[in-house]
Every structure is written in structure tokens, then in C-alpha cells.
Amino acid sequence: MPNLRILLRIVGVPITVGVISSRERLRAFFVILAVLAVASQSGHCANVQPSVQASVTLIRQERAFDAYQITFPSPVQNAVPPNGTVYVEYWVPKRPGPMPAVVLLHHWGVIHPTVERELAVVLAHNGIITAMLVLPYHMQRTPPGFRSGRAMLSADIPRLVRSVEQSVLEVGALVGWLKSRPEVNPKEIGLAGVSLGAIIGALVLGEIDQFDAAVLILGGANVADILWTSPITLKIRPALRRLGYTKERLEADLASVEPLNRLTPAQGRNVLMVNAIHDPVIPRRDTLALWDALGQSGIVWVESGHYIPIWGRRKIDQLAAEFFLYRFGERASFNAPTVLRLRRVKVGVLVDRSPAVGFGAGIELLKSHSGLASLDLNLWTGGASIGAGLNLSNHLFLGIQRKLFSEDRDFLPYAMVSITL
């Protein structure tokens, strides 16, 4: 009873991470009766319900689809008012129903969910409904004095845990609402997540056994390890240490929302993972930990960093659509590549023998099949240049370059120390 376990923790009943005992079940029975009694008086949904009361507003009309905003009360009413309402962006193809539907979870700190909206449009063109749930403390749910997402992912670990547990319950409520809709085929419900959305999505898969397919993009597991080592949480770690946290204590406090504690290899049969080869944000070991927990299900490695350029996102979006169509029985086969080859974008410090040192970016124009050698367009503080050479590692490139739009037409040796976006 995973949703019961989450609800009890949120309303303040302490339970173990493992099996619920008979005494805990008895306590749970009375707690749930009390919560439902309060809910019946307040008019709010206190637990996941199959027919949540939602408001539907048309916000955009396109040739191939209509876009709506859905709002409904959160199954958990937090003290911070913006978090009491769930917001969902809902894309419905202009096709006769019932159609498959996908619940989409966005990345951390999102203000304008361009990446997710691009995926929703591709799914709509393939006849798949998309419902993007705005995670707690993001976008319209951001409390005063915070930036989008900062109140969710912070050194306040109890609040982080409550936020993730709330996300799981809200996904459950959204799935119940989708299954009640006439335009949705209730037997074809999928899940997609990007970055933070993929991490939470992995937990959702373990907690809610109602998905026929899932695509997890740029995600992983070992949540404590990601918080403790990822560069995206660099500003959080000093505050964690001041609060007395060690990595071991962090692992213990996050155990209730750790996907590895919920997933089984059998659940991986319906899952496609898409991860970046040069990802500095989600450590590779944590990606592989999730892959192992899902029984080493299908995985596609993208030649990119965590921030995949638009030409790569389009390929991933189409790949996701094809996977969902296959899992929903609308395609006879699905053959995913092991590696999705892309032109990399590298950002860092460039040095040549002019002598000149500058900051800039290199965009691969051509590359060898192995990816070792490439022809790059460099745009940096020293000007624009064309360079050719070798990628000696993920972060070091050596080659020769010729400056553009300059009187100096010599070929100069150069080095670039960079990260891949």
C-alpha cells in the first residue's frame, strides 16, 4: 500500500520504511477515517480519488491540438498557499477519442517549460494526449520570496521529502482524473519525466502501478548521492553541512523517497531511459543504478551533456513518441539506437599561441564516427574561428584553428578545456 504509506507520513503518523505492521494498519484505518471526515467538510480531496473535481480552461488552439489549463485541489494542503492548487498543462490532439495519454513531469527550476512543451507538441502530432503536472513550489506554485523550484530542492530536507511525496499523490490524482475523461483511453496511460521529473517519475513508477509505458529522460536514482555530488546543488551542500548532514545521514533521511527502495526489475519492461554520455549534472553511476533497478531496461545514450541542444531534443521527442506508440499497440515494432549521435556544444576556456586566452563555445560541425576527431566552429572572446583536432577526453580538446574575419590567416595550435552542454 505505497500511497497509504506516503499519506501517513504526511499527516504525521510515523511508520517504518518496510512492511506496515498490524498495529500500524489499525492506526492507519482510524487516521484515514479522520482525514476523510475532514475532507468531506472542507470540500478538498485528501487522498487520491478517481474523479477529482477539476477546472478546465482553454488557453490555446492550434491546427493539430488544443491546449488547456487544468486546476484542482492538491491531495495535500500545505501551509504555503500556492502549493494547495495543482496546475496541469493539457494538450489534446484534434482527433476522435479515446486516445492514449501521458503524464509529464518537468525539470527543476523551470520558469518556461519549453523542453516539455516541445515534447507535448510532438506527442500531440502523434495522437497522444499530454498532461504536464506543475511540481510543488514551481511556476504558479512558487511561494513569495523564492524562485521557481528553489523551495523544493534546498537544504530543508524534510520539506524536500514532503514535496516529493506530495508529487506522487498529485500524479495519482491526475491519473484518476485522466481515466475519467471521455477523450482518454484508460488502458493506455504513460509517464514521462525530464531531469528532476525523471527522478520523481522513477519513484512514481514504484508507487503507482498504473502506467503502461514510461520514458525517463536525463534521470537517475541514489537521490542522496546526486544532492551530495552534483554541480547543480553546489550552493546547497554548505548549508547541509552546517545543519550537521553527512552523506550517510542524507541517505537515511531520503530513504522514503529513494526510487531504488521502490522499483523492481519487472517494472523496467515498460520503461525507456534516455541519458547523456557527458552529463555533469546526474552522475553516471546514479544513472546506471536506476538502470540496474529497472532490470537493465532499454536505454539510449545521447552524445551530449545535460542541456541537450534543440536539434537533439527533437530527435529525443520523436524517439519518445515512437516508444509510446509501440507500447500502446499502435506500432508493430520499436528499434531504439544504442547511441544517439549529435553535434556537441562545448563551453569553456580556449587558449592559442597568439597568445590569447578567452571564454567561449565550440559547436561541432563535423565529427568522426568514433567522436574522437571533429571540425568545430569556435565563438569566443578572441573572435570566431574554425578548428580541427582531437577530443582527448570529455573536457580537453587539442587542435589547430584559423581565425575568421581577421587579417591573421595563420593556422594556430590551440587547446580548449570545456564541459559539454
At residue 223, the 3 state secondary structure works out as helix
Distance CA 18, CA 5 (A): 10
**pLDDT mean over 177-182:** 96
In tens, the pLDDT along 131-149 reads: 999 999 999 999 999 999 9
> Whole-number mean pLDDT of the chain?
88
- What pLDDT is recorded for position 221? 97
- % of the chain beyond a pLDDT of 70: 87
- What pLDDT is recorded for position 24? 55
| pLDDT(93) > 90 | yes
pTM for the full model? 0.84
In tens, the pLDDT along 204-259 reads: 999 998 899 999 999 999 999 999 999 999 999 999 999 999 999 999 999 999 99
Query: Cα angle at 253 between 219 and 263, to 5 degrees?
Result: 45
Distance CA 41, CA 27 (A): 22
- % of the chain beyond a pLDDT of 90: 77
Domain boundaries, the chain: 1-43, 48-340, 345-420
| pLDDT(32) > 90 | no
**pLDDT mean over 12-25:** 49
Could you tell me the pLDDT band of residue 3, with boundaries at 50, 70 and 90?
low
Strands (DSSP E) contained in 97-174 are 99-105, 129-133
- What pLDDT is recorded for position 21? 55
At residue 417, the 3 state secondary structure works out as strand
Could you tell me the pLDDT band of residue 25, with boundaries at 50, 70 and 90?
low
Could you tell me the pLDDT band of residue 31, with boundaries at 50, 70 and 90?
very low
Is CATH 3.40.50.1820 what the domain over 48-340 is classified as, yes or no?
A: yes
- What pLDDT is recorded for position 29? 46
- What pLDDT is recorded for position 347? 93
- What pLDDT is recorded for position 51? 63
In tens, the pLDDT along 34-59 reads: 433 333 333 323 233 456 889 999 99
Which residues are registered as beta bridge partners of 101?
129, 189
- What pLDDT is recorded for position 421? 83
One-character DSSP codes across 52-108? ---EEEEEEE-SSEEEEEEEEE-SS--SSGGGGEEEEEEEEESS-S-EEEEEEE--T
> ω before 98 within 30° of 0 (cis)?
yes
Locate 312 and state its grid cell: 537533439
Distance set, CA 367 to CA 8, 312, 362 (Å)? 54, 15, 13
- What pLDDT is recorded for position 396? 93
Distance set, CA 118 to CA 101, 104, 273 (Å)? 16, 12, 18
* DSSP one-letter code for 44: -
* DSSP one-letter code for 280: S
Task: With beta carbons less than 8 A apart as the criterion, state whether 127 and 100 touch.
Answer: yes
In tens, the pLDDT along 319-337 reads: 999 999 999 999 999 999 9
Distance CA 70, CA 89 (A): 6
| pLDDT(11) > 70 | no
